[in-house]
Chain A
Amino acid sequence: MVLLQRPHILLLLIDTHQFLQCWIAFGSANEEGQQQEEFSEELLVKPLPDHKLLAHFHFQSSAPPSTSNGCHHHLFPKAISQLVQKFRVKEMELSFTQGRWNYESWGGFDPISSSNAKPPGVELWAVFDVPQHHIDASWKNLTHTLSGLFCASINFLESTATYSTPEWSFPPASGNVRYGTFPCEAVCTENLTPWLRLLPCRDKAGIALLLDRPSLYRGFYHSQRLHLTSTESSSEGIDSGIILEQTLTVVLQPNSERAIEVHASEKHVQPSWSLSSIFGKQVSGRCVLAKSSSVYLLLDWGLVAELKFPNKENGKSAANGLTSENFWSNPSFELSVNPDRIFLEESSSHSKSLSILYMFQVEKYSESEPFDIGLMWKVPVAWLCQQTPLHASRFFMGSGNERGAIAISLKSTQFTEGFMSANSKDGSCELRVDVFQVVPWYVKVYFHSLRVFVDQQPRAVSDFIEKIHVSPSKDKMSPGVMEVVLKLPCRVNTAALTIEFDKGFLRIDEYPPDANQGFDIPSAIISFPNFHASMVFLEDDSLNRSPLLSKFQEKCPVMSYTEVLLVPLTTPDFSMPYNVSTIKCTVFALYFGSLLNVLQRRVAEEERFLKAKAAKKTGRLPLLLSKLSAKLRGSGINQD
C-alpha cells in the first residue's frame, strides 16, 4: 500500500509544482505584457472660416483580448464587450447626427471631416466574424441590442428592406459587412446619455464635463459616433482586443455679446471665444482614470498662412524650437492660457503652409483652478478650408407623382485646380471617384437609364465608368444598391450621373404616420480612394502618442456624404377604408332590406291583420291572458 501511494504523492507534488510555475509565469507575463485597459480623453477645438467653432471630443477605451483576464473589466464598458462577444462583431460604427456637414466652408479634406462628417440620422455598419448565413440574424440582433442601449429606434434597420450589403465600395471591403441608415431618426439627449455612460468617468469629471446638453444641441451640427474594432481571434500574433473609439463632433456658434457691441467696421473679426463661453462650463481637472487627458487647439494651414507668423519662412527651424513664443504671441490673436506644447504639421505635398497644433495638459488644473482656454482675435482674418477634390451634391429631377430622376453632380473645387496644375506634367491624369447609393424599394430605379454627363455633355457610360455593381430592389424585400467606380479626367469641371425611377405604391399600413411629409432617400457616399486625408504632426516621443493624433495620421480615404433627399409619394386618403366600409354597409343594408321585404311580405295577410287589429284594439298582455283563460276553459283558440 505504501509503495503504491508514494508515486501518487510524488505525482501530486510535481503537479502542484508545475501548476505554481505556470501560475507564476502567467502572472509575470501579464505584468510584462502590460496588457492593461486604457482610456484617454481628448478635445480638439478648431476655428472655422465662417465664424463658427468646431469642437471634437475623442474618447478612446481599449481592452486587452478577453483571454488574458476573462470577462472582467475595470475601465472598458461591459455592455460593449458583451455585445462584441455575443454577435462576433469585427468592426462596427454607429453614428447619430443632426444637421448637415457644410463641406464647402468647414472643409472636406482633413481627417475630421472625412471620418466624422456623417449623414443625418442614424448610420450603422458592422462587419461580422460569423458564417455567411448567420450574418443577417446577427445583424438583426445587433440592431435590437443597440436600440435598447442607445434609446433609439435603430431596430427599424432590422428588416431586410432597410439595410444592404455593399460588395466592394464600402471601406472595410468584404462580404460580411452590413450597412443601414435611418435618416429621419431624431437625435437628442437620450442618445447622448447612454453614450456617455460608456465612459469610465461619465460626464462627471474630465473633459466630458463640458458636455452641457442645451449648448450642444443648439449647435449647427452634432454627430456622435461610436466605432469599435475587435481582434478577438488569436490566429494572428498581435492581439489588440477591443478598441472603442467614441467621438462627438459639434459645430457651434460662439455667442459673442462683445461682437455685437463692436461696430460694423469690425464685423469681420472672428468672434472671440472661450470654453466657458461656448459650453457654459469649465474643465476642473482630468478624469483620474484616463491615461492622457489633453485639449488641442488646431489652426488650419489656411489660417496659419493668413496669420503670417514671424518666422514662417523657415518652418523647419521653428519646428526645432517648439517652445518658442513666436507661435502663441501673435499680433492677430491671443490665447488666454499658455500652451504646454506646440506641434507643427509635417510638410505635406498639397499645402503651402503648415497647420499648428497647440496642446494643453488638463492634468495641471484642478477644482480651484479650472481649465478654460480662450482665443481672442484682434484683427480680421479670412481663410478657406481645404475641400474635397470634387464637391458632390444630389437632387431630384422631373415633376409629377409618377416618375422622376436622381442626379448626383460633382463640381470641381479650388483643390482640383491646384491638384491639376501639380499633376499636369503627367499628361494623362485620372481622378477616381467611388459612388455608393442605396435606394429604398418604393423608389423603383431603372439602372439601365444611368447616364453620365461630363462637362455638361452627355457621354458614353463605358468611357467613364470603370466598374459598376448593381443589385436591383425587390418589393418589400430589399433596397436597390448601386456601386460605381468613376474614372474622370483631372481637368473635369463638372460631372453628373442621372438615373430614372418610378415611384412605387405602398399598402395603406406601410405608410408612416406622417406620410405627407415624404420619404427619405439615404445619402450617397462619394469617396476618393486615391486621396488620403491625414495629418502628421512632428512628435518627439512616438511611444506616448495620443490616440487622437495617431488617428489623424491614419490614411483614411477622403469621403463625403450627399444630402438626404425627400421624395413625396402619392398618399392615399387615409380615411378611405372607413368611407368604403360605410358605403358598402349602406348598400348592403339597402339591398338586402328591400329584397327581404319583397320576398317576405304578404300584402293580403297584412291587410287582414290590420283589420283585425282595428276591430279589437287589445294589447299583448290581454291577448296572452285571454289565451291563457281560453286554455283553462278548455276551448282552444282556433285559427281565424
Chain B
Amino acid sequence: METFINPKSLFHLLLLPCLLLYSSIAYNSSPVEAAMHTNNWAVLVCTSRFWFNYRHMANTLSLYRTVKRLGIPDERIILMLADDMACNTRNKYPAQVFNNENHRLNLYGDNVEVDYRGYEVTVENFLRVLTGRHETAVPRSKRLLSDEGSHILLYMTGHGGDEFLKFQDSEELQSHDLADAVKQMKEKHRFKELLIMVDTCQAATLFNQLQSPGVLAIGSSMKGENSYSHHLDSDVGVSVVDRFTYYTLAFFERLNIYDNASLSSLFSSYNPSLLMSTTYYRKDLYKRRLEEVPVTNFFGSVMETIHTDAAYKALSRRNSGRFEDEMSLDQSVHHIKRRMLIKVNDGDEIHDINPEGEEGASKCPWSTFRNKFQKAENVDSLLNYGLVAMIPLLVISTWLVQ
C-alpha cells in the first residue's frame, strides 16, 4: 500500500506548486487580454406610461439621438418606450417630440427604430433583453446580441424609489433583480464593461446590490432625494426634460465622435445646485481610471485601432490565441473547442501561450482533469482548515460552559 501511495503523493506535491503558479498566471493575465473592446451596445429604457410623463420619453429619445450621433448604429440600440407620445392625440405636434421649449430639435425624426413599445415594456421583457433568454421566435432586432467584447450603455428613466424602479405604473424592477441580471450577463460573457445610467428619484439606491466587476453606475440622485424636471413647455403643456438628462445632453452636445472627453469630466460636469440633487457614481466595481476612459467608450462606438504592418499578425500576437484570425479549418475547430472549455470551466480560462505543438483534442481532457483535480484539492484543504479552526472554538466554549 505504502509503496503505491508514496509516489502519488510525491507527484501531487511536485505538481501542485507548478499548477498553482500556472493557473494564477493564466487567471491574472487572461481577463485583461481575454476580450478586446470590439463593439458597443445601448439599451435605452423609458419605463413610464401616460402623457404627463412625456419628459421620460424625451429623455430616452435624447440619449438615443446622442448615441446614434456618436456612432452606435440602430441595430445595436434596443429602445424601449412605454407609451406613444409622438402620435398621441394630446400632442399638438404630431410625430414630433421635443426636449426643449425652443423646439429646435425634433427628437422623433424620420428614423426612429423602437424595439419594444407600449405594453411590451415590462420587467420581464427588460430582464429577457439583458440576459438574452428569449423565445426562439423573437427577431434579432429585439435581442441584445452582445458578447464578451461589448461595452453596453444601459440608460433607464422613469419613476423610482428606494431600491426600485417603476415600470408602467404597475410593476417594479428591484435593485436585486437588476443586480441578478447583471450578474447573469457577466457569467454569460455578455459584456466587457457596462455603464448603468439612471435618471429617477433615489436613483443611487438601485445600484446597492450590484456586485459584478466591470460595472460602472451613475444615478441622478442619492437616497432620499428627488430628481426634478428641467422646464415646462407651455405649448406641449408638460415638462419636456429632466434635469439630470438635460445637463448630460448639454455635455454631449459639445462633443463629436472624435473627442476624447473622459468619463470623469462627464461626472464632474454635474452641478448639484443646478441639478437640485446629488449625482452618485459607483465606481468600486470598475477597474480602469475614469480619467483615462473616454465617454465614447460607452456613448459612442469608437474602437481602438491597432496599427499592423502585416495583415493579421498583430491581432494574434496581442490576444494570445484568443482571436486567431488565421482560420484554417482545424485551427478553428480547436478554437471552438477551447471556447467551449472556457464556458465549462466557468471563467477559468486556460490558454497555451507557448505553442508546444500539442494537439487540441489531447489538451482538452488533460486540462479538465487538471482542473477537477485542483478543485478537489482546494475543497479538501478548505474543509480541513475549517475543521481545524473549529477545534479551538469548541474547546473554549465547552470549557467555559462547564
Contact = CB atoms under 8 A, between A and B. Distances in A.
A147 B134 CA distance: 15
Interface string B122-146: 0000000000000101111110000
**Interface residues of A, dominant DSSP:** helix
Contact of A148 (B84, B139, B170, B400): B139
Given A98-B87, A631-B399, A189 B95 contact: yes
Given A148-B140, A186-B83, A186-B84, 12 more contacts: A144-B135, A145-B139, A148-B139, A188-B86, A190-B113, A190-B117, A193-B111, A217-B87, A513-B49, A513-B168, A514-B49, A631-B400
Interface size class of B (residues with CB under 8 A): 35 or more
Contact of A513 (B109, B119, B139, B141): B119
A189 B112 contact: yes
B402 interface: yes
Contacts of A636: 402
Nearest to B81: A190
Contacts of B117: 151-153, 186, 190
Interface string B102-122: 000000111111111111100
A156 B94 contact: no
A189 B402 contact: no
Contacts of B325: none
Nearest to A514: B49
B94 A148 contact: no
A574 B170 CA distance: 8
A186 B109 CA distance: 17
**Interface residues of B, dominant DSSP:** loop
A574 B169 CA distance: 10
Contacts of A213: 95-96, 110
Contacts of A93: none
Contacts of A474: none
A623 to B, nearest CB: 11
Contacts of A628: 400
B138 A189 contact: no
Given A214-B94, A217-B95, A185 B118 contact: yes
Interface in A485-520: 511-514
Contacts of B270: none
29 contacts: A98-B87, A144-B138, A144-B139, A148-B140, A148-B141, A149-B139, A149-B141, A151-B114, A151-B117, A155-B120, A184-B118, A186-B83, A189-B109, A193-B110, A194-B113, A213-B95, A213-B96, A214-B95, A217-B86, A217-B94, A217-B95, A218-B94, A513-B119, A513-B168, A513-B169, A514-B50, A574-B170, A628-B400, A636-B402
Contact of A203 (B93, B110, B112): B110
Interface string B285-309: 0000000000000000000000000
Given A217-B95, A513-B170, A636-B402, A189 B140 contact: no
A188 B139 contact: no
A187 interface: yes
Give 5 closest A-B pairs by Cβ, nearest first: A148-B139, A186-B84, A188-B87, A217-B94, A513-B168
Nearest to B140: A148
A141 B137 CA distance: 5
A631 B396 CA distance: 12
A140 interface: yes
Contact of A189 (B50, B86, B399): B86
Interface centre among A147, A156, A184, A189 (most CB of B within 10 A): A189
A151 B169 CA distance: 23
Interface in A129-169: 140-141, 144-145, 147-149, 151-153, 155-156, 158
B115 to A, nearest CB: 7
A347 B116 CA distance: 51
A526 interface: no
A627 interface: yes
A439 interface: no
